[in-house]
Amino acid sequence: MQVDGYVEGVITSEKTLIISAAGRVKAQVTADKVIINGLFDGELFANTVEILPQGKAMGIVHSDDLCIERGGSFIGETHRTSQDQVISLTKPEQQDDADTDNRIENKA
Domain-by-domain residue ranges, the chain?
2-74
Question: Do 51 and 69 meet the contact criterion of CB atoms below 8 Å apart?
Answer: yes
Round the average pLDDT of the chain to a whole number and report it: 84
Question: Do 72 and 52 meet the contact criterion of CB atoms below 8 Å apart?
Answer: yes
User: Is the pLDDT score of 43 beyond 80?
Assistant: yes
Q: Is the model more confident about 77 or about 105?
A: 77
Cβ neighbours of 21 (radius 10 Å): 13
What mean pLDDT comes out for the span 5-17?
93
User: Is the pLDDT score of 41 beyond 80?
Assistant: yes
Identify which of 61, 59, 19 has the alpha carbon closest to the alpha carbon of residue 39. Answer: 19
What mean pLDDT comes out for the span 13-18?
93
- Amino acid identity of residue 98, one-letter, is A
Identify which of 71, 15, 6, 16 has the alpha carbon closest to the alpha carbon of residue 41. Answer: 6
